[in-house]
């Protein structure tokens, strides 16, 4: 077994240290102002990583758009609350929730046993699992075992990151982590990584936009449905969110948002039995 792992942010290699994480968390608290207090008042503060199309990203006008953004707005209407989005890098998004920079996270957060130890989650609102992205016509990789001896790109701090690290216990994989998912796909296009492991809805987006360079080669390697991430103590807020999501599902709004942003309905008949590699 050979353990190799690199981190890239933009075009520069970076080393992540405890000191840097603390500094970034302190800066985030300064720039986002006073911490929220369990969604008091009429504003629901929502943490998002705004670099993850089609789930949450900024359009050509720098406006926040995407599946989770549209759903969050619909959720706010049901709760009769104004929603305020707070952008943060995914590798620090859970710390931001713990330090009360925002009330909830709606940012393609997979429900996993490890995360359930620390946070509450709403009922799942979207099916999801990890897949392998290859160059078109590459039939050599169908399973994690086929990644042996290859260079794999993931987004830092995601369940794809955790999964590939687990594979590395038995396989010789060089893992390169990127701050943003677009960097991962750009790196593969440029030949810096051989393959990508990523959420299925995101893979569909990139493959659909650039079929000459990307293709999904595997079945879903995991089953990790997506939900709203909430602090453990905010039980009442979770109950309100679950009720609102149930109403949005029954009304057909949830399915409509999925079709609009993901080109299909991934909100119905969700398999809630977790199959996660972490």
For 8-61, write each residue's pLDDT tens digit: 665 444 433 434 444 444 444 444 444 444 566 799 999 999 999 999 999 999
What pLDDT does residue 218 have?
Answer: 87
The token pair that represents 171 in the structure block: 């396989």
Q: What is the C-alpha separation between 205 and 210, in angstroms, rounded?
A: 9
Q: Which of 31-45, 215-229, 251-265 has the lowest mean pLDDT?
A: 31-45
**Residue 56 is inside which H or E element, if any?**
strand 56-58
- What Cα–Cα distance (Å) separates residue 185 from each residue in 134, 148, 178, 190, 193? 10, 20, 10, 9, 9
Contact 229, 50 (CB under 8 A): no
30 or 102, greater pLDDT:
102
Architecture of domain 32-126+226-262: 3-Layer(aba) Sandwich (3.40)
Contact 175, 152 (CB under 8 A): yes
Q: Three-class SS of residue 53?
A: coil
Whether 236 shows a pLDDT value over 50: the answer reads yes
Whether 194 shows a pLDDT value over 70: the answer reads yes
DSSP assignment letter at 273: S
- What Cα–Cα distance (Å) separates residue 104 from each residue in 10, 121, 127, 212, 219? 27, 9, 19, 38, 31
Give me the CATH code for the 3-14+128-216 domain, please. Answer: 3.40.190.10
Contact 225, 271 (CB under 8 A): yes
Which residues of the chain form CATH 3.40.190.10? 3-14+128-216, 32-126+226-262
């Amino acid at each position: 077994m050979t353990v190799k792992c690199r981190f890239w942010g933009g075009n520069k290699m970076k080393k992540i240290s405890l000191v840097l994480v603390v500094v970034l968390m302190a800066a985030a608290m300064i720039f986002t102002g006073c911490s929220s207090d369990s969604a008091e008042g009429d504003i629901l503060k929502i943490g998002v990583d705004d670099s993850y199309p089609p789930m949450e990203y900024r359009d050509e006008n720098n406006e926040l758009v995407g599946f989770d953004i549209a759903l969050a707005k619909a959720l706010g209407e049901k709760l009769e609350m104004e929603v305020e989005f707070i952008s943060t890098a995914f590798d620090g998004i859970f710390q931001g929730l713990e330090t009360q920079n925002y009330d909830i996270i709606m940012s393609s957060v997979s429900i996993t046993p490890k995360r359930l130890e620390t946070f509450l989650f709403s009922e799942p609102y979207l099916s999801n699992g990890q897949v392998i992205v290859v160059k078109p016509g590459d039939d050599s990789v169908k399973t994690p075992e086929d990644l042996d001896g290859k260079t794999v790109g993931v987004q830092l701090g995601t369940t794809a990151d955790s999964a590939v690290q687990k594979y590395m216990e038995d396989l010789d994989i060089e893992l390169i982590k990127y701050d943003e998912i677009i960097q991962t796909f750009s790196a593969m296009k440029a030949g810096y990584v051989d393959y990508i492991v990523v959420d299925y809805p995101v893979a569909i987006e990139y493959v659909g936009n650039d079929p000459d360079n990307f293709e999904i080669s595997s079945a879903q390697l995991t089953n990790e449905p997506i939900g709203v991430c909430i602090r453990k103590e905010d039980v009442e807020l979770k109950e309100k969110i679950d009720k609102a999501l149930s109403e949005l599902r029954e009304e057909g709004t949830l399915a409509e948002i999925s079709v609009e942003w993901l080109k299909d309905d991934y909100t119905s008949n969700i398999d809630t039995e977790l199959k996660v590699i972490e």
